[in-house]
Structure 1
Amino acid sequence: MERQTIIGRERVDNIDIYFEYDRMDDSLPTLVLLHGFLSSSFSFRKLVPHLIKEFNVISLDLPPFGQSGKDYRYTYSFRNIAKSVVRFLAGKNIGKFSIIGHSMGGQVSLQLIQSHPDLVEHAILLAGSGYQPSYSEKMKLVSYLPFFSFGIKGYLQRSGIEKNLKNVVHDPALIDDEMRQGYIRPFMEKHDIFRALGRMLRDKEVDLLKDELRDILTPCLLVWGRHDRVVPLEIGQRLHGDLPNSELVVLEDTGHLLPEEKPAEIYQLIKQFLGTAALDFGPKEHAHE
């Protein structure tokens, strides 16, 4: 099916949230897509054409990334970002939905599920981050220095887009000019993003703890790449152990950037999961070639 996408921005909690909405059919379930750190809804561009065969799909750029706002005064904790996502969806009259969170989007998804378990029917975490502490008080104090944002910008420039992309995919042959430009463009337009990243460093809270995760009863599908160097499989295995209603699927020959690397396979997993999510998942792990 050809994409017929509505794009726009909505003002929520003193920040602009950019969105892309595919399909608006009341008879179809809705999927909300949340991307990872230093990324945007661009990372789902290969997965969405599959998903719109069966679902309404709404992709968001989480502040301060992509084309969403980068206001220095916004609170960039995952808990607050999750609250803004909920308020955005309420403004679109989206009451019940399933959520797909990649990497940092998984952390935001878990915060959202914990605070609004009645809204989320199912969760799909694609290499979802977890178990991270907040930053040290020393690092938070350093982030107040006038030139800290220039330091962040310099670090990202020195590491380079090519090196960063090779770190997140298993097969470097997947990297092309479209991918390079799609990931680097938001960091070339304004300096505001680097200032907001400094604020995000200060605002980050401790991730959900084991007891909090065990209280989440939402059916969760955890999908991991066997060769993930950013959020290693060990994190997925820990989440599987702590989320009582979860299933873990491991994809072979795959790194961290799952929506780019295996979009067709992930679509099939999501389709199958949403058809069987009411089942009681046991402690099991699948590996897919």
Structure 2
Amino acid sequence: MSDSNEPNDVDGTSSFEAGTEPSIEWCLENGYKIPKWLLKCNIKCPYVKGRIFNGKYGPINYSVVGDPSASLVLTFHGYNATHTTFSIYQSVLSKNGFRVISFDLYGHGLSGYPKYKVFGNTFSSKYYVDQADEVIDHLGYTGRKLSVIGMSMGACIAASYCETHPDLVEKIILISPAGLIPKKPMRVVFLKYIQCCIPCTPLCVSKCCFSGRVTTPKSKSNRESPESSQESLETGECVSVDEVSGESTELNPMLNRMLWTLFVTRRAISNLLGIVNRMPLWSSRELYRRVGGMGKLTLILFGDSDTLTPPECADELSRLFTNSHTIIFSNSDHLLSFKKPLQVVSTCLSFLGIPNQENAQNYTRWLPFDCNGVYIPKSRRELGHSDETELTHNVSAPSLGSLTNHALPDEPPKSSTTSPFKIFRDYLPPDRTIKQLSLTEEYPRKKVPLVVVKQFENS
């Protein structure tokens, strides 16, 4: 979403539609060195281009959606992921009074791939907090309050961002959070002692390892001999836009991304190893304790079959974050957000509507799903009720009533004191599952919106 009052980005966006996969021509024109043998295999850029500006350590690819005056939500994706992790969040939240900012962390997607520095803080939590500040400053939102959402590794960064900017962060959402992973693999421990070798890892990857898995079709106008094809494979010769062959084959998406990572973004492997070495994926306990002690409203979501960040960590996280609520969804793993998008997004939507400085435990029966991930029908929603405690202030959920008095998504919010939530109606995103999500009227005293998931309400 482009706004006239936003800064101009320096990426040639005017000739390219943001929000789509960039063409090979665009990649070549913007400095990506693609070996000739990969072009003949019809390799494609596996990432989605948003808007790009030049950051301190290279380009930063980002996406921002929603009314510029709406409440800000800053997101942090996980390891080896990209900003598109939050596409569905942007679709839903932006239509309900939020402006959602997502970006590719350095070493991911279409953002820059800086050189790993043995002495320094490259790819540490602070490094990524600084990158987030770059994005916020670029958008002109310095000093504005916001909520943060962190997924997996992004949870560590979200917590670090909150610690750095305690006066700005209002709410925290942690999805499948890393930081308390039970046991660090020995190979990761060993990596710390050989980190001087990390910058050299791209040299360890040979193209011949993939010669049997990809095909290099011959040009119709100039058939190459087997010797010349092998020579091209070995040299990895790069070409210009004019040399892109019109004849193509289709690569498996997973293989396509692997080849792009290894041979186009040459520093990707060293960057990923640097992240494993520097990020506190196993050791964020004290960070979480400090941030949790601030008492900010925090939502923690786990999948019950998550083996990477097991739900056993949930109890400890609940203790560390003193004003938190934890939900463990059944039949889901570390990819909770992708396997149960409707449940996760609707819960986040409802949680973000809770007034700041409230006690999270008073809203556990107002969210659409209880602590076990079981849907709560609207007739059983209550304010002031905790799953673990007796009902103190029983307030029944309002009925659906008339929706005609609510502002539609294309109308600006009336004031900063009203609830940011609006009705979806005909402005639903294309995802079929999200069409099952709607909002009822607000509870008038506290302006707390009630999120109803039709798919579960009618079952």
Number of the residue aligned with 1:267: 345
TM-score normalised over the length of structure 1 = 0.78
Counterpart of 1:140? 192
1:58 aligned counterpart, secondary structure: strand
Are 2:79 and 1:37 equivalent residues in the alignment?
A: yes
Greater length-normalized contact order (CA 8 Å, ≥ 6 residues apart): 1
Q: Which of 132, 152, 164 is the aligned partner of 1:115?
A: 164
Partner of 1:246: 324
Q: Is the 8 A contact 1:70 1:196 kept in 2?
A: yes
| Match status 1:193 vs 2:268 | yes
C-alpha contact 2:113 2:265 (8 A) present in aligned 1? no
TM-score, structure 2 as length reference: 0.51
SS of 1:217 mapped into structure 2: coil
Structure 2 residue 63 is matched with structure 1 residue 51:
no
Aligned-CA RMSD value: 3.3
Question: Match for 1:288: what amino acid?
Answer: G
Q: Which structure has more helix as a fraction of its residues?
A: 1
Q: SS of 1:232's equivalent? A: coil
Q: Kindly indicate whether the alpha-carbon contact (under 8 Å) linking 2:74 and 2:146 is maintained by their aligned counterparts in 1.
A: yes
Any unmatched runs of 5+ in structure 1?
159-176
Any conservation in 2 of the 1:153–1:194 contact (CA below 8 Å)? no
Contact 1:121/1:218, CA 8 A, preserved across alignment: yes
Q: 1:97 aligns with which of 146, 159, 171?
A: 146
SS of 1:216's equivalent in the other structure is coil
Query: Is this contact kept in 2: 1:44–1:259, CA < 8 A?
Result: no
Write the distance in 2 (CA, Å) between the matches of 1:183 and 1:281.
41
Using the alignment, how far apart are the partners of 1:222 and 1:14 within structure 2?
A: 32
Q: CA deviation at 1:201?
A: 3.9
For 1:82, the equivalent position in structure 2 comes to 129
Contact 2:75–2:149 under 8 Å retained in 1: yes
1:165 corresponds in structure 2 to none
Q: 1:61 aligns with which of 104, 113, 126?
A: 104
More strand by share: 1
Whole-angstrom CA distance in 2 between matches of 1:86 and 1:51:
22
The equivalent residue for 2:66 is 23
Amino acid at match of 2:261: F
Conservation of the 8 A alpha-carbon contact between 2:64 and 2:101: yes
Q: Is the 8 A contact 2:72 2:147 kept in 1?
A: yes
1:146-225 equivalences under 5 Å are 149-150=201-202, 180=254, 187-188=261-262, 189-205=264-280, 206-209=283-286, 211-225=289-303
C-alpha separation in 2, matches of 1:67 and 1:93:
22
Distance of aligned partners of 1:145 and 1:68 in 2 relative to their CA distance in 1, 3 Å threshold: same
Native 8 Å contact 1:37 1:103 kept in 2: yes
Large movers: runs of 4+ above 6 Å: 133-137, 151-154
Displacement, 1:73? 4.8
Give the 3 Å change call, closer, same or farther, for CA 253–131 of structure 1 in structure 2. closer
1:76 shift after superposition: 0.7
- CA deviation after TM superposition for structure 1 residue 147, in Å: 8.0
User: Aligned letter for 1:30?
Assistant: L
Identity of aligned residues (%): 19
Instruction: Report the number of matched residues.
Output: 265
Q: What residue number does 1:288 align with?
A: 373
- Please give the alpha-carbon distance, in whole angstroms, between the structure 1 residues aligned to 2:162 and 2:204: 31
Deviation at 1:109, TM superposition (A): 0.3
The structure whose Rg is larger is 2
The answer as to whether partners of 1:149 and 1:197 remain within 8 angstroms in 2 is no
CA deviation string 1:239-273 (max 9, x = no partner): 11111111101112221112211222122111211
**Structure 1 residues 146 and 259 mapped into 2: Cα distance closer, same or farther (>3 Å)?**
closer
1:88-110 superposed Cα distances (whole Å, 9 cap, x missing partner): 21221222211111100001001
Residues 90-147 of structure 1: per-residue CA shift (max 9 Å, x gap)? 2212222111111000010011111111121111111111136999774223232278
Distance 1:196 1:236, change over 3 A: same
Distance 2:295 2:259 in 1: 38
Q: How far apart, in 2, do the equivalents of 1:286 and 1:179 lie?
A: 36
Report the AA paired with residue 46 of structure 1. Answer: I
